[in-house]
């Protein structure tokens, strides 16, 4: 079976060992998104590729404890507001069944083996 196009966020490894999310910034109004967009969804202006993170702050979080196809529970999810301005959904690496703290600082960890965007809690 042909694989579906992957709609999840993409990342870019920096020379300094950090990882950032690849999204867009509007040339006209400055709107930012952590995902590819063909034009600014806010003002309809042209967009350029932009990088977000590596740091961010947890806006909200949960742990999913029910199975869905291809996944074994639990997995820990967070909405993260990345530095530079983009809210992305990410898996919290190594969190298992623990809910991430709202307001906690995290950093982009990369894309996991299953293609999920992952963040790490800051020590």
Partner 1 sequence: MTAVVYGVGSSPYAKQPERSAADLVAEAVLEALTDADVTSVDAVYVGTVFGAPGVAQRSLHPLGIVDVPVLAIENACASGTSAFHEARAAILAGRYERVLVVGIETMTARFGGAIHPELTDAEGRQGLALPSLYAMAATRYLRDGAVTREQLALVSVKNHRHAIGNPRAHYSGEYTVEEVLGSRMIADPLTLLQCCPISDGAAAAVLGPRRGVSRDVPIRGSALRSGGLWDHRSSHVWGYQLVRDTAALAYEEAGIGPEDVDFFEVHDAFTIGEIVTTEALGLAEAGGGGALVESGHTSLGGAQPVNPSGGLLSRGHPLGCTGVAQVAEVVWQLRGEAGGRQVGGARVGVIETMGGGVSGIDGNGAVVAVLGG
Q: Which stretch binds partner 1 (CB under 8 A): 11-19, 43-51, 88-96?
A: 88-96
List C-alpha distances in Å: 65 to 13, 58, 96, 119. 31, 20, 10, 19
- Is residue 96 within the footprint of partner 1 (CB under 8 A)? no
CB-nearer residue toward partner 1: 2 or 15: 2
Beta strands in the chain (DSSP E): 10-13, 19-26, 32-33, 47-52, 55-64, 75-82, 86-92, 105-111, 117-121
- Is residue 106 within the footprint of partner 1 (CB under 8 A)? no
Report the interface residues with partner 1, using CB under 8 A.
Answer: 4-9, 32-33, 35, 41-42, 59-69, 71, 75, 77, 79, 81-82, 85-87, 89-91, 99, 102-103, 115-117
């Amino acid at each position: 079976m042909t694989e579906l196009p992957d709609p999840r966020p993409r990342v870019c490894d920096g020379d300094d060992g950090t990882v950032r999310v690849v999204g867009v910034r509007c040339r006209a109004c400055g709107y930012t998104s952590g995902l590819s967009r063909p034009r600014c969804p806010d003002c309809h202006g042209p967009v350029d590729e932009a990088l977000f993170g590596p740091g961010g702050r947890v806006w909200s979080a949960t742990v999913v404890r029910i199975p869905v196809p291809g996944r074994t529970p639990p997995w820990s999810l967070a909405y993260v507001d990345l530095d530079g301005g983009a809210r992305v959904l990410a898996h919290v690496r190594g969190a298992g069944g623990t809910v991430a703290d709202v307001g906690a600082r995290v950093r982009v960890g990369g894309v996991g083996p299953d293609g999920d965007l992952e963040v790490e809690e800051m020590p």
